[in-house]
Amino acid sequence: MTTRAVVTPSVGSIRFSERIGSLVPFYYWAVLPALIATVAVVVLPLVYSFGMSFWHYILTDPANIRFAGLANYQHAFTDPTFRNSLGTTLIYGLGTVIVELVLGMLFAVVVNSLTFGQGLIRTAMLVPVFMTPAVVAFMWRFMLHPDLGIINYFLGLAGLGHPVWLGDPRLALPSVMGVEIWRNTPFMFLVFLAGMQSLPTELFEAAAVDGASFRQQFRHVTIPLLMPLILVAVII
């Protein structure tokens, strides 16, 4: 004959679970305003725009609306201007995100390895993040001015001429991408640095004991642990 011990949960654990269960509806209600705002500002206009893309619609003559089917898409993808704009948008979007991701990760690795000065660097990196787009555009427009800009001033001293950064079709896109990279790379840096400093040090100590180099630790420990954070940063 065997005896089986019966374990009864403590009063504290029951009360704790009850408190957690009672808070779940509150969490839903707390998220509800943000969810409604997101649906109203993002989802509904997106659905409406997608529906209107199947119709011929003129803003100056809203009464003259007729069903177009896929004619608008056919016209768009056969239009050279649209294809050029789409290619430029893809180059701009993918190029800036990739460069920001690489530079942000590189800066985070370097700063995370420092024994002093991290606070000063983090504070300096916050400046571009908190600058409004209007201020950034005005500042860089002045810096990239062909005659008055400080960039062309130093290029002139070096005998490299005075490029028209925003007026030359060959330089306009790289110039705008450079401004975007300058503004958003600090955000990537701060996100990755915070993620690296929150990783458990025991994993890196164990990897070092096993003979893993810094490169191997970064590839097989840091990157996999930061992957969810990387995906969120890329989406943002």
Q: Are residues 160 and 129 in the same domain?
A: yes
Shared domain for 140 and 43, answered yes or no, is no
pTM of model > 0.85? no
Q: Give the pLDDT confidence of 80-101 residue by residue, as tens digits.
A: 999 999 999 999 999 999 999 9
Asked if 87 and 137 sit in the same domain, the reply is: yes
Closest to 161 in 3D by CA, of 146, 141, 179, 176: 146
Q: Which of 207, 224, 225 is nearest to 216 (CA)?
A: 207
Q: Do 62 and 96 belong to one domain?
A: no
Whether residue 192 is found in the same domain as residue 106: yes
User: With contact defined as beta carbons under 8 Å apart, do 171 and 165 qualify?
Assistant: yes
Q: What pLDDT score was predicted for residue 22?
A: 54
In a domain, residue 214? The reply is no
* Angle between helical axes of 118-130 and 80-112 (0-180°, round to 10): 160
Categorise residue 127: left if φ over 0, alpha if ψ from -120 to 50, beta otherwise: alpha
> What is the structure's pLDDT at 186?
92
User: Is 203 within a domain?
Assistant: no
Nearest CA to 201 out of 130, 128, 71, 112 is that of: 112
Asked whether the beta carbons of 109 and 196 are under 8 A apart, the reply is yes
Assess if residue 221 is contained within a domain.
Answer: no
Does residue 226 belong to any structural domain of this protein? no
State the total domains in the chain: 2
Q: Are residues 38 and 115 both part of a single domain?
A: no
63 plus 85 within the same structural domain: no
In DSSP notation, 107-166 reads HHHHHHT-SS-HHHHHHHHHHHHHS-HHHHHHHHHHHT-TTT-HHHHHHHHTT-----TT
* Domain-embedded: residue 208: no
Residue 229 lies in a domain: no
Does any domain span residue 50?
Answer: yes
pLDDT at 33: 86
10 Å CB burial of residue 31 (0-12, 13-18, 19+) is exposed
161: alpha, beta or left? (left if phi > 0; alpha if psi -120 to 50): left
Whether residues 133 and 51 share a domain: the answer is no
pLDDT over 50 (residue 191): yes
Q: What is the pLDDT of residue 138?
A: 93
pLDDT for residue 137: 92
Q: Could you tell me if 22 and 87 lie in one domain? A: no
- 47 pLDDT exceeds 90? yes
In the predicted structure, residue 16 carries a pLDDT above the cut 50: no
Lookup: tokens for 140: 């860089």
Residue after which a domain boundary falls, among 180, 198, 216: 198
Q: What is the pLDDT of residue 20?
A: 46
pLDDT bin (cut points 50, 70, 90) of residue 5 is low
pLDDT digits (tens, 9 = 90+) for 141-162: 999 999 889 999 999 999 888 8
Q: Which of 45, 71, 97 is the last residue of a domain?
A: 71
CATH of the domain at 95: 1.10.3720.10
Same domain, 54 and 108: no
| pLDDT tens per residue, range 167-177 | 998 999 999 99
pLDDT over 90, % of the chain = 37
- Yes or no: say if 192 and 229 are a contact pair by the CB < 8 Å rule: yes
* Residue 15: CA count within 13 A, CB half-sphere: 3
Of 71, 96, 112, which residue sits at a domain end?
71
At residue 63 the predicted structure's pLDDT band, cuts being 50, 70 and 90, is confident
Domain boundaries, position 102: 80-198
Domain assignment present for 194: yes
Looking only at the bridges linking them, the beta strands covering 55-58 and 61-67 are antiparallel
Query: What's the pLDDT at 13?
Result: 46
Same domain for 47 and 136, yes or no, is no
Residues 28 and 107 in one domain: no
Residue 52 reports pLDDT greater than 70:
yes
